[in-house]
Amino acid sequence: MNKTELLSQLSEAELQSLMAAALRDMVKKEWLTPDELEKEYGISINAQNRMRMERRIPYSKIGKYVRYKRTDIERWLEEHKIETAAGL
């Protein structure tokens, strides 16, 4: 079954749901929760907690809520990149 046949069998609600999910994946949030950071970048919650206590990872805190700005995390990861011997 090709994509066109498969899509024609979906209800309008199912198609809208799939399109909304695809759009959410395409539009990246600017601010991430600890869970989202773990899912997207693979940094465990425990590692995040430890690095925050040691002031090694950029974050913001409003009340009890911790958030990570995507651009800060990407810059932080680049700053901590280890080059290979070949410079790749």
Q: Which positions ≥6 away from 61 have C-beta within 8 Å?
A: 67
Instruction: Supply φ then ψ for residue 67, to 5 degrees.
Output: -135, 150
pLDDT tens, residue by residue, 25-45: 667 889 999 999 999 999 999
Cα dihedral 9→13→16→21 (10° resolution): -100
Single-letter amino acid, residue 49: N
Other Cβ atoms less than 10 A from the Cβ of 20: the count is 10
pLDDT tens, residue by residue, 36-70: 999 999 999 999 999 999 999 999 999 999 999 99
pLDDT tens, residue by residue, 72-82: 999 999 999 99
